[in-house]
Chains A and B, each alone.
Chain A
Amino acid sequence: MKCDYSCQSDDHLIARRQFLGGLAGSFVVGGLGALTNPVAAAQLKKNGMRVLVVYMSGGLSQLESWDPKPKTDTGGPFRAIQTVVPGTQICELLPKTATHMDKLSLIRSINTKNNDHGKGRYQMTYGRNQMPGTEHPHLGAVCAKALERSDNPLPGHIKVPGGSRGSDAAYLGPKYASVGMTGKPPANSERAKNLTESADALRNSFRRKVNDRFSLQRRTAETDVYTQSYEQALQLMEKRDVFDIEKEPASEHEKYGKFDLGKHCLMARRLLENDIPFVQVSHSNYDTHNENFNFHLEQLGEFDQAFSTLVNDLHERGMLETTLVVVMSEFGRTPKINARFGRDHWGSAWSVCLGGANVQPGAIIGKTNENGTKVIEREVDHGHLFHTYLSAVGLESSEAFNIGGREQPMADPSRAPISELIT
């Protein structure tokens, strides 16, 4: 569904600052009573919350990570190791992460009934099955809107690494679409050297006047985005250093690792420290139909260093209480090991790791059978997970956005959060 301001509804005429400051506007709470005190309490609860997704692109093997089955017919060559949480074991490929499992939890009973990359990506990041003719916002867009900061000019939905602006916000509007970053300040974000500060200010002043006159009669989502993009670009220019990981000392680079994921996790920390509501870091590639064990050895070696460092930093800086951390993929990998020492696509019984914010630490939700071929306890799917992420950052996931007078549920109404995981 497209964001259309032609309705001239009040929702879209309320300024961003007013929206968050006054808690008015685009949330419907129970359909009525949108400005009651409990709502204010809920809003306060979500204040300062952030979400970090570490996306293991291609499909991380649950057996080589969060749900090892050593010495079974599906177990593979890696062993399980004890974590700091008594009774909780993960794969030996994650020794550093194992020391932080008291801050994290596992959901080991995911059945998304899908083995397709594109559909899986959609399920896990949009919280629904992809249906022709319908569009829903990405988790990042939902968080960017629902956790929007009134006083932060930076984009609320950032993907690392990434390039141009995404088209993943659906009816929420392009303002909440993802912005890609690479660890360097955005290109051309410095004022041109031959342009003086005063000349630049005059230019922008003139642009605003013209824009304002135009929008009095012909305001649309597109013109808003056009205006916002200019304003955001100006603000980005002022805060361009936020995106520059070279501002970090060499010791931090060493700690995170001098490979792409290390740099991107360091970037993520800087973004979260600067109060960006949603950051997604991607790590590629786990689609290991061939030599699954060699490739997981290589990829998870990087992940273990960068991720454990990031979790520890968030913890030590007091940010983990307000930052939901989720490690997800589009699906897991087959318990059966194929002829090429590979594992194939598997959406029937796999795992996600999450922690921080209001997630109960050190928990394990659900269970698979002895060799990991099926879920035997507390089966959940992407819909439950999406609700759970929103609940973990203090949002009522059963609520809806009011878009042009029409309610758009934040999450799949047929699902609910995994309530026992939320404190």
Chain B
Amino acid sequence: MSLDPKQTHVLHEWKHGKPLIACSFDPTGRYLFTSSEDYTLQRWNLEDGSKVAWEAHDSWIRDIAFLPGGETVITAGCDDRIIFWPVTGDKPQPRAEVVAHKGWIRSVDVSSDGKLIATGGNDHLVKLWDPNGKRVRELAGHKGHVYSVFFHPDGNTLLSGDLKGVVHQWETKTGKLMRTFEAKELFSYNTGQKVDYGGVRDIALSPDGKTLAFTGLHKATNPLGAVNEPLVLLFDWAKGESIRKQPADGVKGIGWQVEFLSDGSEVCVSGGGGGGYLIFFKPAEEKPFHKLKLKDTARDMSLHPDGLQVATAHWDGYVRISRMEQKAAR
């Protein structure tokens, strides 16, 4: 069997019991990590669905990343800290703990060679760290909360997106700001409610390295009431120009995560007023070619290293694992 997004189906529903926030597969594909509103981090064994949970931060965990090899998991908290944990063990203890930002850390990513860790926070800063938690560099330039960080696989490029819909491209060796992508459709200021809303919630790069995807929301007619729709924006990597806007065809909610699949298509997870959806796009088309309604609103998504499974974290306390291929015959 092979990747077939139109055949996507939920294979597992594993219950934590408290609303989930973030999820991430470890790079070896053995485990799925999730975080919850109950301040715990959960490790799920993909073989049998068994769970180990432990209290991890003084606040919620917004993002989860791994060092290459899958031995260390890094959690980014709303308590200013990143914490390095061993992936295995019944009662994992922190390997290192760093007060990394002033305020929430919304995003963490690890470079493909494992030498750099990037964090983005509410202090409008992006910071680079070595694998031991020692600060390497601070990247200043955002004028809003930093919502997402993403390492380009070339090893010397970092992208960071903020609340205002600005995506900066940094040279990691020097900290130099190389260029800026304007994803302004992902931000709005509501004059009636007097609130900023939106943000670049996630960044992805196509397998051929030619296309960037940013996701978030648009059509925010009532931000406080969750009246908005998910949106994916595609940019040409080489030219830095906008290629296409991909609205979600009437679905209400926020695009929380976007990933490119091995066939070049994209999957975006949305959650919010319209419930949870996996929404599939082809880069050459504006409209989604497939949508899968999930049982509950989703808040995060992770693509398994096998490229065939996605995990979604849900408010109803379940993590759901969906396979993007035809159901196996019984």
Task: Give the B-binding residues of A (Cβ under 8 A).
Answer: 58, 70-71, 73, 76-79, 260, 284-285, 287-291, 295, 297-299, 337-342
Contacts and interface: CB of A to CB of B under 8 A. Distances in A.
B157 interface: no
B194 interface: yes
A402 B272 CA distance: 54
Contacts of A71: 39, 58
B193 A79 contact: no
B38 interface: yes
Interface string B12-47: 000000110000000000000000011100000000
B78 A285 contact: no
Majority secondary structure of chain B interface residues (helix, strand, loop or mixed): loop
A298 B226 contact: no
29 contacts: A58-B224, A70-B58, A71-B39, A71-B58, A73-B18, A76-B37, A77-B59, A78-B78, A285-B195, A287-B225, A288-B224, A289-B224, A289-B225, A289-B226, A290-B224, A290-B225, A291-B197, A291-B223, A295-B195, A337-B19, A337-B37, A338-B315, A339-B19, A339-B271, A339-B297, A339-B315, A339-B316, A340-B272, A340-B273
Given A284-B194, A291-B197, 14 more contacts: A70-B59, A73-B37, A76-B37, A77-B60, A78-B78, A79-B59, A260-B194, A289-B224, A289-B225, A339-B271, A339-B296, A340-B273, A341-B299, A342-B226
Most buried by B among A284, A297, A339, A341: A339
A401 B1 CA distance: 84
A76 B59 CA distance: 8
Nearest to B38: A73
A298 B273 contact: no
Contacts of A287: 193, 224-225
A77 B315 contact: no
A197 to B, nearest CB: 41
Given A71-B58, A290-B225, A79 B19 contact: no
Contacts of A295: 195, 223-224
A152 to B, nearest CB: 32
Contacts of A58: 224
Nearest to B297: A339
B194 A285 contact: yes
B59 A78 contact: yes
B171 interface: no
A295 B196 CA distance: 8
Nearest to B225: A289
Interface in B171-198: 193-197
A79 B297 CA distance: 26
Nearest to B163: A294
A58 B272 CA distance: 20
Most buried by A among B18, B104, B193, B196: B193
Contacts of B60: 76-77
A76 B38 CA distance: 9
Nearest to A289: B225
B20 to A, nearest CB: 11
Contacts of B224: 58, 285, 287-290, 295
Interface string B54-67: 00001110000000
B56 to A, nearest CB: 12
A240 B39 CA distance: 54
Nearest to B253: A340
Contact of B193 (A73, A284, A297): A284
Nearest to B299: A341
